[in-house]
Each structure stands twice: as C-alpha cells, then as structure tokens.
Structure 1
Amino acid sequence: MTVIVTHHLALTSADNAAVAPMLADVTRQYDTIENEDLIRRAPVLARELPAHLLEFLEEFRLGEPSALCVVSGLAVNEEDLGPTPTHWRDSQHGSPAFRQEVFFLLCGSALGDVFGWGTQQDGRIMHDVLPIKGHEHYEIGSNSLQHLSWHTEDAFHPCRGDYVALMCLKNPDDVETMVCSIDLLDIERLDVAALFEPEFTVMPDNSHQPQLSRGSTGDPALDALRARSFRLIEQWNKKPEKRPLFFGDPGSPYMALDPYHMDSSGWPERHRQAFDGLCAQIEERMSTVALRPGDCIFIDNFRAVHGRKSFQPRYDGSDRWLKRLNITRNIRGSRAWRTSADSRIIQ
C-alpha cells in the first residue's frame, strides 16, 4: 500500500484551551453553522486562530507541500454528540457539534471561501457525511455497503472547489478514506500530452440529482434557479462537454476526473488508452487514512482524488459521522452561478 505524504499539525491541549473561549463566544452569538452572517464573518474570525495554525494552513495553501493536509487533536466529547443522525436534513439545527463545526469553518475560511451547491443537501454550506438507510448501494457519500469510488469532487463542474474538507466526529470502525495524489504517479509513464487535450467527458455525479433534494424551498425565485440547475445537470448528462483531464503545469499537472461517471465510448483510441493508464496508476498507488474524532483533513481537489472503503452500517446512533466543506480560492469565478456577489451558494 502506497503511503501519501501528509502535511500534519497536531493540536495540543494548550491549543484547544486557546480556541475554546472564541468558539464559545461564536456559538453564543449564532444558532447554526448555516447562518449567513457567520459564514460572511468567518474569514475575519479565523484570524483569532493560533498563529502557528494559520501559518501551517497558509503553507499548505501556497507551497503545496502535499495534497493532503491534516489538523488533528481537536477536542471532541463523543458523549456530548449524542447519536449519529439518521439523515442530513435538519441536523444543523441545535447541533451538538456546533463548536467543532465553527472551528472547521474557520480553518476552511483560512484557505479560501467556503461554498455550497443549490443542488446538493438543499443548498447547505456544511454537509453531513453519514450512512442513510436505502443508500447502501448508491454511488453517493451516504452509501455504506459498497465502496465510494475514487473521484475529484464535483469533477464535472467548472466551479468545483480547490479543496474538499472533512472533519471526523465519529468513526468507530476505522473506516478508511482513500486518497491518491498526482505526486504518487509516475508521470513519465503517462501520455501527458493526450491527457491535456479536450477529448474527455465527465457526467454529473449522483449527489446533484433532483431526487435527493427536499423539493420546494418556499422561495419561488430560488426554486426557479434550482430548477434551472437541475435542467443543466440533465443536459450535461445527455451531452457532456469535452474537456481535458490534466491542466496547469505539464511537469506537475493538476487533474480532474471521476471514472464512475465517465463513459469512454466515442473517445479517440489514444485518449482512451491514456485514461486507462492514468486510472491504473491511481488504483495501484492509492493510499488510505482512517480518520479519528477531532481530525480535520483538507484534500487538494486539484492534485488528489479521494474515495472511501465500504463498511457495515449499524443505524443505532453509533455510525461514522463526518462534516464536509467545499472551499474555493476563486469565488468570483462562479459569479454567474450565484444570486449575489456575497452569496456562497452556486445555483
């Protein structure tokens, strides 16, 4: 098994004591992590994090020392959390993990702008990742009995994030997250030139499908925007646009692919072989990490793919429970998809 190099910082008891008053103050002011004012203020509040943590995150952001950044040691009392929710709907209200959510939000806001999708988890910024009854064999993060296939997060969309972040609240069975970085691949054995050419297609993943949405939001204008997004997703499924899988520096490329949602029929033979060669190397060199409560991981969505191994759900309140954030370094790049300049929801 290949081992990915990790950019790692372990919080100390002194670090936890230093952030506790600030987290307590923030959670007194707000009642949910989805509060728009809290999300707007998060980059400013992040400046109150310990200086060495901010320097660590900035090194990851600018220096790209690794495709996987881990901040471990955040205090989590699993008894205070109570049972793992049975569904992500309404789990953000009265959250027993509110302080941990605020810390996670502030760390993410030190790397860029957090954002959500109108087509995903009813437009929430911070998602719950947990097993849901009926999703056991569905290719989505709430599945359990089958692997979640490795992928670039939201590979199909031009506004996909620079980072996908996960915070662990519970993982009693040490379920492993799979990660493979471009740095682990033997680039010289790949047809890099072909992978840079716009001859590939990626369809929208299942998490953006309308059947997973609650339905009407109660806001006719917002419902109209969301309906437009679902129509576009349907269009991209029927006729996906051609794009490259590699971009950036040919010597150290970025990548975006999601093989489960890619159909190679109709591709030129050279490009199909280049894709197969890339996937074979990723499969061979996949690394795993079992998140522990209090771990916050930030995956470089330009430089790594990720997935998750299967596990047996219990549905008794003790199941694996993570929080997830999408983070971009170019929020203005999605302005055509958002209702206002300060909105953080891509519709």
Structure 2
Amino acid sequence: MPEYALSDKDVAQVAPLLAELAKTHDTIEDDTLIRRARVLARSFPVGLVEFLEEYRLSEPSAVCVVSGLPMEEELLGPTPEHWRDSQYGSPAFTQEIFFLLCASVLGDVFGWATQQDGRIMHDVLPIKGHENYEIGSNSLQHLSWHTEDAFHPCRGDYVALMCLKNPDAVATMICDAADLDWSSLDVAALFEPEFTQMPDNSHQPQNARQSTGDPVVDRLRIRSFELIQSWNDDPVKRPILFGDNVDPYMALDPYHMKTEGWSERSLRAFEALCAQIEAKMRDVRLRPGDLVFVDNFRAVHGRRSFQARYDGSDRWLKRLNITRNLRGSRGWRPAADNRVIY
C-alpha cells in the first residue's frame, strides 16, 4: 500500500496556507473554497502532489495513504453525537481543508442530496440507536464490505477517509481487485448485466432531515428519494464487472443485492467472486492524521464492529466522494457548477 509520510518541512510549507484559508472561510462546505481547491492544491509540496498524481494515473494500488498530518485530540474536543452537529465551528477545520485539497488532486469532490443533507464532506461516527443498522454510523455489527454507492450510475471513482480519532484501532476492511485470481473466476458472466444492485440504507429518507428549509432543494431531494424508491421497487440489472477483461473494475454491494431470479451461472460466478474477496480482505487501522484514498473501481471496503461509548471519545472520521468525470453526472445536478447529485 503506497504511503506518503508528510515531513516536518511539508507540514511547515502547508501550515500558512491552511491557516489563511481557515480565517477567510467559515465552513468546509463553502462553495468558493471547494471551487478553488484544485488550484490551491498546486501550492502543496511537489512530492505530495506527484504521489497523488501517480496513484491517480498509474493505478499502482487500489489504496494509498497520506500520513503525518498533525492532529491534537485535545483541540478536537468531543466526538459529536451526530453528523448534524459538526458543520460550523469545526475544531478540525484546518485538517478538513488539507483533506479537501488533497482529494482535489484526484478529481472533483461531490455530495448526494440523499446523504447527510447534501453535504460534500461527511462525518463518519457512531450514532446512538444505529448500533445494528447496515449503515456507516453503526457500531455493534460489521459494516459489510461494498463498493461505495454501487447501485448508482454516478458513483465516485474514489472514496477518501481522514482519521481524526480512532482510540480502539477499529479496522477498515479493504480488498484490492489486484489480489484476486481472475483466471479462476467466470469473468464473462460477471460482465453481463444480470445482477441487481439495490440502493443502500444511507440514501433512505429516514436518515435525512424532513426539510432543509429551502423549498427548491426540498423538491429536488424528494424527487431523488422517489427515484431511489423506484429502484427498490423495480431493480435495474447491471454488470458487476466493467472495463478491461483481464484487469477489470468492479461494482458490488452483496448486502444490498437480491439474488432471486438470477441464472445459475450468474449466481455461481457471484458467489465465487465474493468468496475470493472474503479470503483476500485485509485490515487497515487508521491513525489520527491518516488520509486513506480507496479506488472505488478497484476495491471494496467495510469496517469491523466495535463497542461505542458515546462519551465523546469514539472513532471519528471525515469522508469525501471524488469523481474524475463531474460532467458524467450533469443530468443529475441542477447546474454545471453544482456539486450535489439529486
């Protein structure tokens, strides 16, 4: 797994820029900050930008890590009880800016109207009452491995995580497609559009506010929830594999896939692929100050279960979705420069 460890010189180089941006913006959701992110990242250390560019262009691994970002837990304060409590006055604002700029080297960050009220940067933390839900805010059960937003044609190329706290060393589970023996699998069957990918629970309306206060946004969001419900009622069949036949990309989320009506060949191919993924899954334990970028075309990921304490000390990550083709989702966004998919 390629890793770029920030040196003291790197940290000293980026610190003034991050401090200045934190003074001139009040939230990571600021449209101007997000729009400028790619240009601002050009001021980052050359070695860091080259590392991320190599990961983007050459695909040396499905996962890469940037480590060494200073993270002082006493300055972070308690882990919020809910993601709704974390947008303004963030104690990790300078780190969030660093994360945003790194992500922007790989592509364009974007959000979902149906997730965390359309925010671009998400909080990943345990929420009381979600312990046994199949959703990222659970804790007592594993978060099943999956392609991020596998059901949606506008899913991102990368999902990125920044660790603020992980006192129990809770493991993120990752399987790299390069570790699979494709020659032993029925690749041709997996390329056929015979598999149903259902919307995952994080896009359901019960996990969102009833209203954002903006009637236009609320109408668009209701339309999105209705579309997702239609996909639940009448699932669209899609392939699991795409791209190159020898070194394929993949998109699957077994927990949210219904196998009823699949042909025997499709089912066997799917089960054989899942068995290999299970066997090749590895644990990545993020430390405070770690940024991990997961190629959403070449890896699946999940999370081990843990016991949440809800005392302000629990695991707390930030998450970004990144696309290399923002135009590909233009039909889902209300304006060319809008980053939220409806």
* Alignment-derived partner of residue 107 in structure 1: 102
Q: Which residue of 2 aligns with 1:3?
A: none
Structure 2 counterpart of 1:298: 293
Among candidates 322, 331, 344, match of residue 326 of structure 2: 331
What is the aligned partner in structure 2 of residue 132 from structure 1? 127
Cα deviation per residue 1:269-311 (whole Å; 9 max; x = unaligned)?
Answer: 1000000000000001101110000000000000000000000
Aligned residues with identical type, % of pairs: 72
Q: Give the aligned residue type for 2:136.
A: G
Partner of 1:287: 282
Separation in structure 2 between the aligned mates of residue 285 and residue 309 of structure 1, nearest angstrom:
15
Where 2:238 maps in the other structure, the secondary structure is coil
Structure 2 CA distance for aligned equivalents of residues 36 and 214 of structure 1: 21
Q: What's the counterpart of residue 167 of structure 1? A: 162
Tell me which of 261, 270, 279 is aligned to 2:265.
Answer: 270
Aligned to 2:11: 16
Structure 2 unmatched runs, 5+: none
Specify the alignment match of 1:198 in structure 2.
193
Question: 3-state SS of the aligned residue for 2:144?
Answer: strand
1:297-340 per-position Cα deviation (integer Å, ceiling 9, x unaligned): 00000000000000000100000000000000000000011010
1:250 Cα deviation from its structure 2 partner: 0.4
2:71 is aligned with 1:76:
yes
Q: In 2, Cα distance between the equivalents of 1:318 and 1:75? A: 18
3-state SS in 2 of match to 1:89: helix
Is 1:26 matched up with 2:26? no
Aligned length in residues: 342
**Post-superposition shift, 1:222?**
1.1
Q: Aligned letter for 1:248? A: G
- Cα deviation, residue 244, structure 1: 0.4
**Given the two structures, how large is their TM-score scaled by the length of structure 1?**
0.98
Amino acid at match of 1:120: Q
Distance in 2, Cα, partners of 1:111 & 1:25: 23
- TM-score (norm: length of structure 2): 0.99
1:214 aligns with 2:234: no
> Could you tell me how far 1:7 is from its partner in structure 2?
1.5
Matches within 5 A, 1:142-153: 142-153=137-148
Note the alpha carbon deviations across 1:246-283, whole angstroms, 9 max, x for none: 00000000000000000111011100000000000000
Deviation at 1:201? Answer: 0.5
Report runs of 4+ in structure 1 exceeding 6 Å deviation. Answer: none
Distance 1:324 1:111 in 2: 14
Q: Within 2, Cα distance between the matches of 1:50 and 1:92?
A: 28
Name the CA distance, whole Å, in 2 between partners of 1:221 and 1:174: 42
| Structure-1 residue corresponding to 2:57 | 62
Q: Offset at 1:90?
A: 3.3
CA distance in 2, matches of 1:300, 1:195: 19
Mapped to 2, the partners of 1:93 and 1:293 lie a distance apart of 21
Cα distance between partner residues in 2 of 1:174 and 1:310: 11
Partner-residue secondary structure (3-state), 1:138: coil
How far apart are 1:15 and its partner, in Å? 1.0
Could you tell me how far apart the structure 1 residues matched to 2:214 and 2:164 are? 33
Cα offsets for 1:208-246 (capped at 9, x unmatched): 000111121121111111000000000101111111000
Hey, what's the Cα distance between the residues in 2 that align with 1:146 and 1:90?
24
Distance 2:264 2:233 in 1: 22
Q: For 1:103, what is the secondary structure of its paired residue?
A: helix
Distance in 2 of aligned mates of 1:8 and 1:207: 30
Residue among 327, 332, 337 paired with 1:342: 337
Aligned partner of 2:177: which letter? Answer: I
SS in 1 for 2:197: coil
Q: Report the CA distance between 1:194 and its aligned residue.
A: 0.1
Q: Deviations over 1:136-157 (max 9, x none)?
A: 0000000000000000000000
2:84 partner SS: coil
Provide the residue aligned with 1:245 in structure 2. Answer: 240
Aligned to 1:84, the other structure's residue is in SS state: coil
The one-character-per-residue Cα deviations of 1:118-177 (angstroms, maximum 9, x if unpaired) are 000000000000000000000000000000000000000000000000000000000000
Cα distance in 1 for partners of 2:114, 2:85 equals 16
